[in-house]
Amino acid sequence: MIVIKCAGCKKKLMKYHKVGKGKILNCWFDKIKNDFTLREKESVVCECGNLIGTISAKGIRMKPNSITYSGTIIKK
Ligand SMILES: [Zn+2]
């Protein structure tokens, strides 16, 4: 489980069950545990106004430069 934070204000955005290596490019809705983000139509934004990503069919397409994260990534 990792904690994804806003790169702008360091606020916690969501807890995410990450499996596999690599960067977080897409967050699937069924693996998001706690979601503190806001929605503006197709956009996912932080309370500070930082654009985090955009909604796609099954998840959120993240903007890697907008987020930081910490925690353990489970290796398959
Ligand atoms: Zn923020």
Q: How far is the CA of 25 from the centre of ligand 1 (A)?
A: 18
Other CB atoms within 10 Å distance of the CB of residue 52: 23
Q: CA 25: distance to chain centroid?
A: 8
Ligand 1 centroid–CA 56 distance in Å is: 21
pLDDT at 72 over 80: no
Structure tokens that stand for 11 in this block: 């606020």
Between the CA atoms of 18, 70, 55 and 32, what dihedral angle is there, to the nearest 10 degrees? 50
Domain ranges in the chain are 2-71
The Å distance, Cα 45 to ligand 1 centre, comes to 8
Residue 67 — pLDDT band, cuts 50, 70, 90?
A: very high
Q: What is the pLDDT of residues 29-56, one digit of tens each?
A: 999 999 999 999 999 999 999 999 999 9
